[in-house]
Amino acid sequence: MRLRNKINLYTAVLFSCLLIIMNVSIYLVFSKMMISNELERSKSEAAMVASKVSVDVMNIADPGNLLRAYVPVDGMLQIVFEQDKPTTITSRTEQELKGRSTTFYPGEKSDVITFHQKKYVFTSNPIIWKDGSIVNLQFTKSIERTEEMLAILRVVLLAVTLIAMIPVLISTSLLSNLITSPIRSMIDTMKDIQKSGQFKRLNLKGKSKDELVEMGNTFNHMMDLLETNFEKQEQFVSNASHELKTPLTIIESYADLLKRRGKKQPDIFDESIDAIHSEAVRMRDMTEQLLLLAKHQAQWKIELEKLNLHELAAESAKVFQNTYQRQIDIHVTEEISVTTDRQKVKQLLFIFLDNARKYSDEEIAVYVGKTSEKEAYIRIEDRGIGIPKQDLPKVFDRFYRVDKARSRKHGGSGLGLSVAKEIADAINIRIEMDSLEGRGTTVTLFLPLA
């Protein structure tokens, strides 16, 4: 069963049950009130008749004549003795009541009784008879009019229930359309995506904050993530196939050279082994960088912590200096605390320090300071070959090399700065690069203060 039909069915059944329960409750309460009123009225009338009969019984020889004066219009009046036969007087319309058996009650009694499928209110009051004995004055009165009113009330409530179901059915249909419309739109969009292979979004109208709009926003966000990951996957495959082609060709060429002449010429053997090893290392580094670029930022497991920026820069510089035996000077103006990811910042510093090492032979300078009350910086300066002004806007593009031959010589794949840009964006760091050809390059990392 479709969701729309389920909503219609369940809502209609629920409203129907509520209407039925409400109308049945109304009928039961109203019926009880009317019957109670009839019973109270009957008790009052019976008490009044009992008081009058008690006064007049001493002066009247025939009890029947006395009861005839007080008999109700649609009922019966009886004097019931404990041992003798009762005296009974009925109205013209209730002659059948004479056939009802009588019972003597020692005290007062009132109830609703049924006789020949008709309902009556019955009241029995004890009185003192003229001989001093206790008898019952039993008052029986029909409540047929009340029953007729209750029957009319039943018909009215039933009609109201049936008529009320019309707007209920209409409202449930509108409600089901309102609920299922975004779901239907999402299903149609999914089918379009399946057929066309394109990533489409839901067109969300209005500013509602309900669960349906939230579901639509979640769907659109999911499409954004899928499209981003799909593009990254396509880019990864394209980049990998393009960039791995050259080192594989080099390895294959040197392997062929080894097979043909490597055993006879040791210099060719050494040259081939060095080239194959170098290209294998470069392939490994490039593959790791490609895999990092293929990841979505949400998968990077960023761990923010409060850090001393001077200590972080000094620690990174010391490790780099010991590894490559290059002089790195640290210049600090003041102690600065930032909240960021320690490993990601160190990775950024290693990338830019490695570039400075590759393209300059002189010492490298690192400056740590603040630009304002909200921002700190780490600036890395080298006195190397520099970057032409026209190439600066492109240095963060993947696989872009300012001088391809020179980059190949130093083992560059053109991915380092792309990785740095991805890392910086993930941890909210801004990168600025300035360079003069033949004079050196300056890279500045701007970090938000703690």
The residue segments making up the domain with residue 235 are: 220-294
User: End of a domain among 251, 275, 294?
Assistant: 294
108 and 7, same structural domain? yes
**Does pLDDT of 82 surpass 80?**
yes
145 and 235, same structural domain? no
Which pLDDT belongs to residue 404?
Answer: 46
Which pLDDT belongs to residue 226?
Answer: 83
Distance CA 404, CA 409 (A): 9
Question: In CATH, what number is assigned to the domain containing residue 282?
Answer: 1.10.287.130
Provide the token pair at 285: 């580094």
**Does pLDDT of 246 surpass 80?**
no
390 and 281, same structural domain? no
Distance CA 116, CA 97 (A): 9
Distance CA 24, CA 396 (A): 77
Which pLDDT belongs to residue 408?
Answer: 43
Q: Which residue has the higher pLDDT, 287 or 72?
A: 72
* Cβ pair 67, 42 in contact under 8 A: no
User: End of a domain among 294, 326, 351?
Assistant: 294
Backbone angles phi, psi at 309, to 5 degrees: -65, -35
Identify the band that residue 243 occupies on the pLDDT scale cut at 50, 70 and 90.
low
Q: Which residue has the higher pLDDT, 402 or 199?
A: 199
Chain centroid, CA 241 distance in Å: 42
Continuous segment of H or E residues that includes residue 367:
strand 364-370
User: Does residue 310 sit within a domain?
Assistant: yes
Which pLDDT belongs to residue 285?
Answer: 65
Average pLDDT, the chain: 82
Closest CA to 69 of 83, 55, 86, 84: 55
Which pLDDT belongs to residue 406?
Answer: 44
Distance CA 273, CA 266 (A): 10
One-letter amino acid at 296 equals H
Query: b vs e for 394-421, b when ≥16 Cβ sit within 10 Å of the residue's Cβ?
Result: ebbebeebbeeeebbeeebbbbbbbbbb
User: Tens digits of per-residue pLDDT, 358-415?
Assistant: 888 888 999 999 888 889 999 999 988 888 888 887 787 766 666 543 444 444 556 6
310 and 279, same structural domain? no
Distance CA 42, CA 48 (A): 10
Lowest mean pLDDT among 6-15, 117-126, 345-354, 406-415: 406-415
Identify the band that residue 150 occupies on the pLDDT scale cut at 50, 70 and 90.
very high
Question: In CATH, what number is assigned to the domain containing residue 319?
Answer: 3.30.565.10
pTM of the model: 0.47
User: End of a domain among 94, 129, 150?
Assistant: 150
User: Does residue 37 sit within a domain?
Assistant: yes
116 and 56, same structural domain? yes
User: Does residue 9 sit within a domain?
Assistant: yes
Measured distance between the N- and C-terminal CA atoms of the chain, rounded to whole angstroms: 57
Q: Which residue has the higher pLDDT, 37 or 239?
A: 37
